């Protein structure tokens, strides 16, 4: 009896599959997911989950949330992140404290795996939406993510 039930199951799965693609076929012109890049540069919208590059957001006081703990540097499987750090005097307590000098990010080596972002305890780094990363000189792909003169936001370390 397995023979006939196989035929039945075969035909049924065939029709189910064709139903799914058939629905897509009818809807595609309304909801095609293709973006007409670069025609739509003005209206181009990337998706929230898109992984373009790692960025470090700074607020209006030129402050970021990176404490220089180096968890991201350790988490990165291919050495994309280099944290150059130093010790400075904390104004509030007057004690010596670790702070980043330069957060170096080698975009050319990044696989967009996201391990650094998962590892960061203070959400100091997030995904950027930029994807136009082609340049003529690859040294331009080595970036310093913390802006000049920026410092760690007060309170993130507590």
Partner 1 sequence: MDTFKLTWNITETIQDWLVSIMSENAANITAMVLVAIIYLTLFAVAGLYLVLLERRVAAWFQLRLGPNRVGFQGLLQTMADALKLVSKELTGTVKADKFLYNLAPYFVIVTSLMALAVFPFTKGFQAFDINIGVFFLIAISSIGVIGILLGGWSSNNKFALIGAMRSGVQTISYELSIGLSLLTMVLMTGTLQLSEIVEVQKSGWLIVQGHIPAIIAFMVYMIAGTAETNRAPFDMVEAESELGAGFHTEYSGMKFAYFFLAEFINMFIIACIATTVFFGAWLSPFGITESIPWLGVFWFLLKAFVLVFLMMWFRWTFPRLRIDQLLTLEWKYLLPINLVNIMIMAFLVWQNLIIKF
Identify whether the C-beta of residue 146 lies closer than 8 Å to the C-beta of residue 56: yes
Kindly state the smallest distance separating residue 127's Cβ from partner 1, in Å.
25
Show the site string, 81-120: x = touches ligand SF4 by CB under 6 A, - = not. Answer: x-x--------------------------xxxxxxx--xx
Kindly state the smallest distance separating residue 150's Cβ from ligand SF4, in Å.
12
Kindly state the smallest distance separating residue 91's Cβ from ligand SF4, in Å.
19
- Give residues in contact with partner 1 (CB under 8 A): 6-7, 10, 14, 17-18, 20-22, 24-25, 27-29, 31-34, 36
Residue 61's region, left for phi above 0, alpha for psi from -120 to 50, else beta, is alpha
Residue 111 interacting entry, from partner 1, ligand SF4, none, C-beta within 5 to 8 Å by type? ligand SF4
SS3 for the chain, per residue?
Answer: CHHHHHHHHHHHHHHHHHHHHHHHHHHHHHHCCCCCCCCCCCCCCCCCCCCCEEECCCCCCCEECCCCCCHHHHHCCCCCEEEEEEEEECCCCCCEEEEEEEEEEEHHHCCCCCHHHHHCCCCCCEEECCCCCCCCCHHHHEEECCCCCCEECCCCCC
Residue 152 makes contact with ligand SF4 by CB under 6 A: no
Residue 146 makes contact with ligand SF4 by CB under 6 A: no
Residue 115 interacting entry, from ligand SF4, partner 1, none, C-beta within 5 to 8 Å by type? ligand SF4
Q: Applying CB under 6 A, which residues contact ligand SF4?
A: 54, 66-72, 75-76, 78, 80-81, 83, 110-116, 119-120, 122, 124-125
């Amino acid at each position: 009896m397995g023979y006939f039930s196989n035929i039945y199951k075969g035909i049924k799965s065939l029709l189910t599959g064709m139903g799914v693609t058939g629905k897509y076929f009818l809807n595609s012109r309304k909801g095609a997911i293709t973006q007409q890049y670069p025609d739509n540069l003005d209206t181009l919208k990337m998706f929230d989950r898109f992984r373009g590059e790692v960025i470090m957001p700074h607020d209006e006081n030129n402050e970021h949330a990176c404490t220089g703990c180096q968890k991201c540097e350790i988490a990165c499987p291919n050495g994309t992140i280099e944290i150059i750090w130093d010790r400075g005097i904390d104004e509030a307590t007057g004690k010596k404290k670790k702070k980043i000098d330069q957060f170096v990010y080698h975009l050319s080596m990044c696989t967009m795996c996201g391990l650094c972002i998962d590892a960061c305890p203070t959400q100091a780094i997030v995904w950027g939406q930029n994807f136009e990363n082609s340049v003529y000189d690859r040294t331009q792909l080595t970036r310093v993510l913390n802006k000049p003169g920026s410092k760690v936001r007060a309170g993130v370390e507590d």
